[in-house]
Amino acid sequence: MRILLTNDDGIHAPGFAVLESIAAKLSDDIWMVAPAEEQSGAGHSLTLSRPIRLRKHGDRKYSVSGTPTDAVMMALAHVMKDNPPDLILSGVNRGANLAEDVTYSGTVSAAMEGALAGLRSIALSQVYSREGLGDQVPFAAAEAWAERVLRPLMEAPFTPGTLINVNFPAMEPDAIKGVRVCRQGIRDYGRLRIVERTDPRGYRYYWFGLAPTVETPGHVTDLEVVADGYVAVTPLYLDLTHEPGLDLLADRFGENVR
């Protein structure tokens, strides 16, 4: 199996090295194309207003001066155009990609780009606690559990237009209770925290922060699954059409959309 590795934390990120070691357990045909620098929060953005630079770091290892989407597009349309991958793995992200995070996440968006190309694509993220800051985030949970999660996913039937989002909880591997397939959650946007501070020159600046999670009945979303000590596996669908809205709006315009 030929595997393409990418991420949004950059080619030199510790989590990318973790992903390489995980992929090595699955195949010896591994290619790496990732952003040259951190692109967290880049979402599914594409660089159109400036040229893209491609740098080779070794055999089958490249960096791109752009977004995660740029990296996947460059991999599929240029670097690997004559030998496309069978699987795309994106991550291992430093931090969770849960709930509405998937719309901001470069990690998930790289997998989205792979899904758009018709390839089996999986995003992997390591949740961390407040004690795991900077590059000191522990990836032990991802290292220990990734293969156990990936092998069943690779053997499962692939539905075109879909991708899989995996989040490993912030705990020691032996403390993890197992794997749960779950829905994408959503946070209460009204609880978004904005921290205001003042720089040494007297100008204000702001940091965005997340407030406590709002729980749902039955703990059925990815937010609660990882909080309960499980690896969260969530299938995502690229078609964002709201099916009930088709008929509702068709009635408004007197059209039949079926």
CA distance 223 to 153: 21
Q: What is the token pair recorded at 94?
A: 């430093």
Cα-to-chain-centroid distance, residue 15: 12
Q: Residue 212: what pLDDT?
A: 60
CA distance 47 to 194: 28
Sign of dihedral through CA atoms 192, 197, 199, 203? positive
Residue 64: C-alpha distances to residues 37, 61, 108 (Å): 9, 10, 17
Any known ligand binding at 40? yes
pLDDT tens-digit map of 130-177: 654 555 789 999 999 999 999 999 999 999 999 999 999 999 999 999
Helix (H) or strand (E) holding 253: helix 243-253
Any known ligand binding at 101? no
Q: Using an 8 Å Cβ cutoff, are 163 and 112 in contact?
A: yes
CA distance 109 to 59: 25
Average pLDDT, the chain: 91
How many Cβ atoms from other residues are within 10 Å of residue 41's Cβ? 12
Summarize the confidence of residues 189-193 as an average pLDDT: 67
Q: Residue 123: what pLDDT?
A: 98
pTM (two decimals):
0.91
Residue 178: C-alpha distances to residues 95, 225, 232 (Å): 19, 10, 9
Strands, E assignment, 69-153: 87-94, 120-126
Checking phi first, is residue 114 left (phi over 0); if not, alpha (psi -120 to 50) or beta?
Answer: alpha
Q: How many residues does the chain have?
A: 258
Summarize the confidence of residues 100-112 as an average pLDDT: 95
> Which of helix, strand or coil describes residue 6?
strand
Domains in the chain (CATH in brackets) are: 2-185+217-253 (3.40.1210.10)
Any known ligand binding at 9? yes
Q: Residue 208: what pLDDT?
A: 81
CA angle (146 as vertex; 84, 137 as ends), nearest 5: 110
Any known ligand binding at 167? no
Q: Using an 8 Å Cβ cutoff, are 89 and 122 in contact?
A: yes
